[in-house]
Amino acid sequence: ASEMENGALAIDDIPLAARQFLGMINDVIFWPRFLVVDLEVTDHEVTRVIDGAVATFLARYGRSGILPPNL
């Protein structure tokens, strides 16, 4: 079952939520590397950006108590 069906997420506009989530990641990881070909982005930075995007997404769309403790 999906997280929406499980009641973990409350999203009215799924396509918008998906674009917002991908935008948080693409803005920091994809576009700078696309525009500056030799730009170095470390694995640590990628992990930090993704963890932040997940935490932000869950803060907006998650039901209380679902945020993992390490985020």
The Cα diameter of the chain in Å comes to 43
Count how many residues are written for the chain: 71
- Treating both helix axes as pointing N-terminal to C-terminal, what angle do 14-25 and 43-61 enclose, rounded to 10 degrees? 150
pLDDT one-digit tens code per residue, 32-65: 777 777 778 889 999 999 999 999 999 999 987 6
pTM: 0.77
To the nearest whole number, what is the mean pLDDT of the chain? Answer: 85
**pLDDT reported for residue 66:** 60
Residue 6's pLDDT is 83
Residue 70 predicted with pLDDT over 70? no
pLDDT value of position 39: 79
Phi-psi region of 7 (alpha: psi -120 to 50; beta: other; left: phi over 0): left
Q: If DSSP codes are grouped into helix, strand and coil, which group holds residue 44?
A: helix
